Amino acid sequence: MAEAIALAATHLGQTGTNPSVGCVIVRDGEIVGRGVTAKSGRPHAEPQALADAGELARGATAYVTLEPCSHFGKTPPCADALVAAGVSRVVVAVTDPDPRVSGNGIRRLREAGITVETGLMEEAARRGLAGYLIRQTEGRAHVTLKLAVSKDGMLGRRGEGQVRITGPQSREAVQHLRAESDAILVGIGTALADDPDLTCRLPGLEGRSPVRLVLDRLLLLPPGSKLARTAHRVPVIAVVSTDTMVRDEAWLARRGALEQSGVEILEAASLIDLLQSLASRGMSSLMVEGGARVAENFLAEGLVDRIWLFEGPDAIGEAGVPSPVTADHQPDGFDLVSSETIGEDRLEILERKQ
Ligand code: AOF
Ligand code: ZN
């Protein structure tokens, strides 16, 4: 199952609305077939692992991170493919909340005489499926809050643009996290101060940039900003609040100019409404990158599922902008799930308690 989970991780963020699932076929203690949900979502993992195993699948055990599907969707049911291949045992990590599947896949396998076990390495498998599971069960996108804090718990220095807090290895890890996310969000303050482009620039990840969102009720994003200038290449959405009162002529003119550059304007009544809109467009995972106010708002509304907290080696001191989360001040309701050294920095990952 660990191998199946590792396989699933290789396509995380690249399978569209479909979860990235891993499948491994084992015979006499040896792996004879491997499959992962194809980029764009189909074919599913199981038929690929079965094809890889060929005749060796007969009498073998299949390890799958998600319950095999039982519905005729864009491809035939994976449960049927496992039955037809003569697999004798299927081990599933997580049952599928998709109402078309939800227990039916397992039932179908059992009815065909296959031994089915569930729950093996469930926690680890759930981590990779987190976006998909939240979208299916709560109808909203999953939120990862990424924070980079100085030794003294600051996010940056007031009035200054981007301040280097973490080293190159941490920044590389952030690029990978972006590549796994469907969308990325900053507040207009960060967009104006840093003029970020929020894309993935690492070799091999260039085509995997998430949709870029700016919380910008007054539409202050300049059409000349990096975000607006690149909106035709990687989508940019300016999020305005439904109750924005200031819709004067100047506001309408700014909206027109942004739309001209290819920026989409999206109305949302609240943060949860925004997360639901993302989910209804098939986006399962949102990475929130700053700044402090935006992070505080997501935390205050209980909409953060996971926190990636990077801590750099230097202090910022005077005029620092305090982070709502630091190594010494972790919010209630979260568990620390890992803590590692990355170059000169520390990365702590916290997850919302189940
Ligand atoms: C599997 N193996 O590798 C994946 C599964 O649109 P469709 O027809 O591809 O169906 C999408 C659903 O298939 C999705 O909601 C989830 O229930 C399941 N994904 N199932 O057996 C896989 N990716
Ligand atoms: Zn399937």
pLDDT in tens, 290-320: 889 999 999 999 999 999 999 999 999 888 9
ipTM exceeding the 0.85 mark: yes
> How far is it, in rounded angstroms, from Cα 105 to Cα 169?
42
Instruction: Give residue 143 CA to ligand 2 midpoint distance, Å.
Output: 26
Q: What gap in Å lies between CA 150 and CA 315, rounded to an integer?
A: 5
- Region 198-227: mean pLDDT is 93
Paired sense of beta strands 334-342 and 345-352, if any: antiparallel
Give the residue numbers annotated as catalytic, written as ranges. 46
Q: What is the pLDDT of residue 266?
A: 97
Residue type for position 272: I
Q: Please write the tens of the pLDDT for every residue from 48-86.
A: 999 999 999 999 999 999 999 999 988 899 999 999 999
Pocket of ligand 1 (CB under 6 A): 18-19, 21, 37, 41-42, 44-46, 66, 68-69, 73-75, 78, 96, 98, 101
Q: What's the gap in Å between 280 CA and the centre of ligand 1?
A: 17
User: Ligand 1 pocket test: which of 25, 42, 44 has the largest number of ligand atoms within 8 Å of its C-beta?
Assistant: 44
Strand ranges of the sheet holding 30-36, from the earlier edge strand across to the other edge: 30-36, 22-27, 61-66, 89-94, 115-118
Counting from 1 in the atom list of ligand 1, the atom nearest the Cα of 19 is 23
As a whole number of angstroms, the distance between CA 60 and CA 57 comes to 5
> Which ligand 1 atom sits nearest the alpha carbon of residue 96?
17
DSSP 280-304: HTT--EEEEEE-HHHHHHHHHTT--
End-to-end Cα, the chain, rounded Å: 22
Mean pLDDT score across all residues of the chain: 95
Q: How many residues comprise the chain?
A: 354
